[in-house]
Amino acid sequence: SAVISQKPSRDICQRGTSLTIQCQVDSQVTMMFWYRQQPGQSLTLIATANQGSEATYESGFVIDKFPISRPNLTFSTLTVSNMSPEDSSIYLCSGGRTESTEAFFGQGTRLTVV
């Protein structure tokens, strides 16, 4: 398995501002994903972070709102842009290897937009 360090763990932000969340993996992983989780609900995939190229976004999520970077196989960032209260949620990054039987998660970022 691998360990993912995600930061910040929580933040309270003003509407209209942006927040960048970082995930650092302690070993190379093939796949990295960004999820959003509303309280009491399951995980919703925002996008797959692709190394060296644009992320692949799921329906309902766009690059202008959630720009993602992945400069190498151990690091990725997600920016939540022009935030509104509806963006208040937990954001999770996840990593995995195609040959692995496990996906591991960062600790999550609890975002509150006021």
Residues engaged in binding another protein (CB under 8 A): 1, 31, 33, 40-45, 48, 92, 94, 96, 98, 101-108, 110
**CB 88 → another protein: shortest distance, Å?**
14
Q: Which of 35, 44, 53, 47 is nearest to 108 (CA)?
A: 35
DSSP 40: T
**CB 62 → another protein: shortest distance, Å?**
18
Per-residue tokens: 17: 């501002």
Nearer to another protein, 75 or 105 (CB): 105
**CB 26 → another protein: shortest distance, Å?**
15
End-to-end CA distance of the chain: 37
Nearer to another protein, 74 or 106 (CB): 106
Nearer to another protein, 61 or 104 (CB): 104
Burial 54-82 (b: 16+ CB within 10 A, else e): ebebeeebeeebbbbbbeebbebbbebbe
**CB 61 → another protein: shortest distance, Å?**
14
